[in-house]
Amino acid sequence: PLPTLIAPSILSADFACLGQEVADVVAAGADWIHFDVMDQHYVPNLTVGPMVCEALRPHAGRALMDVHLMVEPVDALVPMFARAGAGLISFHPEASRHVHRTLALIREHGCQAGLVLNPGTPLGWLDDLLDDLDLVMLMAVNPGFGGQRFIASTLPRLRAVRTRLDAHARATGRRIRLEVDGGVKPDNAGAIVAAGADTLVAGSAVFGSSDRRAAIAALRAAAAT
Ligand code: DX5
Ligand code: ZN
C-alpha cells in the first residue's frame, strides 16, 4: 500500500492567521494541506477561493495543496486554482455537467484530479472514470461543515473502493489514492486505514488540538496499527 498521508483541513484553523496556521501544521508533520472551498450553493456554507490559496501556497512549503471544491458549477474555478498553486483538485461529480471534461481540464492545467463522493452518492460514478483519476475521496460526513461525526457506512464503501482500485492497479500498474474526509480522529483512523484509505483529512482533530505535532503523530500511529 501507499504510505498514509495526513492532510489537515484549514476549515478548522484560525482564519485570522491562516498563514501561520498552515506553516504550523506543515512544521508539525502534515503531508498535504486540505483546502475546503464552499460556495453557499452546492453546500450551505461559504469559505475561501483562489486568492487565499495563492496567499497560503508559500506558507505550505513542501506540502501539496489539496483543493476540495464544494462548488457548482466547477470548471471556471479549475484554471484559477491551478494558477493559485493547487497540486490536486477534487470535485463532486453531481456538481459538474460533464464530469469527464472537468477531470481532463484539471489534468490539462497540470494538477492531479480527484473525484469526491458524498455518503449518499453511488460508487458507480467511478466505473468509467478510473483512468482519468489520480485520487478518489469518500466523504464520511455530508459536506459543508467541520467537526461532524464520522458516518459508519463509510467503512464498507472504503472497502468496496479499495477492491476496485487494487484491481485497477493490477491491470494498469497505476495507483490511485483513496482519501477520506470528515470525522477522522485518532480513535477511528486505524479502522479507516484498515478499510483501505491511504490519505486522511483531519480538520478539528489537528487544528482543534493545542499540540498539532502530537495530533498528527497520533493519527499516524493509529493508521499504522
Ligand atoms: C467538510 C470538509 C472537511 C472538514 C473536515 O465539508 O470537506 O474537510 O473540514 O473536518 P473534520 O475533520 O473536523 O470533520
Ligand atoms: Zn474537505
Question: What average pLDDT does range 141-157 have in this prediction?
Answer: 98
Give the per-residue pLDDT at 154: 98
CATH of the domain at 93: 3.20.20.70
**pLDDT digits over 94-133, tens only?**
999 999 999 999 999 999 999 999 999 999 999 999 999 9
Q: Which of 31, 36, 39, 66 is catalytic?
A: 36
Q: How confident is the model at residue 225 (pLDDT cuts 50, 70, 90)?
A: confident
ipTM of this complex prediction, to 2 decimal places: 0.98
Amino acid 10 reads: I
Percent of the chain surpassing pLDDT 90: 99
- Tell me if 30 sits within 8 A of 6, measured CB to CB: yes
Containing structural domain, residue 161: 5-224
31: helix, strand or coil: coil
CA distance 135 to 88: 9
Q: What count of other Cβ atoms lies within 10 Å of the Cβ of residue 122?
A: 11
- Tell me if 150 sits within 8 A of 182, measured CB to CB: yes
**pLDDT digits over 54-103, tens only?**
999 999 999 999 999 999 999 999 999 999 999 999 999 999 999 999 99
Amino acid 223 reads: A
Give the per-residue pLDDT at 220: 97
204 grid coordinates: 478539528
- Ligand 1 is surrounded, with C-beta below 6 A, by 9, 11-12, 34, 36, 68, 141, 143-144, 146-148, 181-184, 201-205
36 is an active site residue: yes
If you average pLDDT over every residue of the chain, what do you get? 98
Q: What is the pTM of this model?
A: 0.98
Residue 1 has pLDDT above 90, yes or no: no
- Protein residue closest via CA to atom 6 of ligand 1: 143
Residues lining ion ligand 2 (Cβ < 5 A) are 36, 68, 181
33 grid coordinates: 494541506
Give the per-residue pLDDT at 61: 98
Domain count, the chain: 1
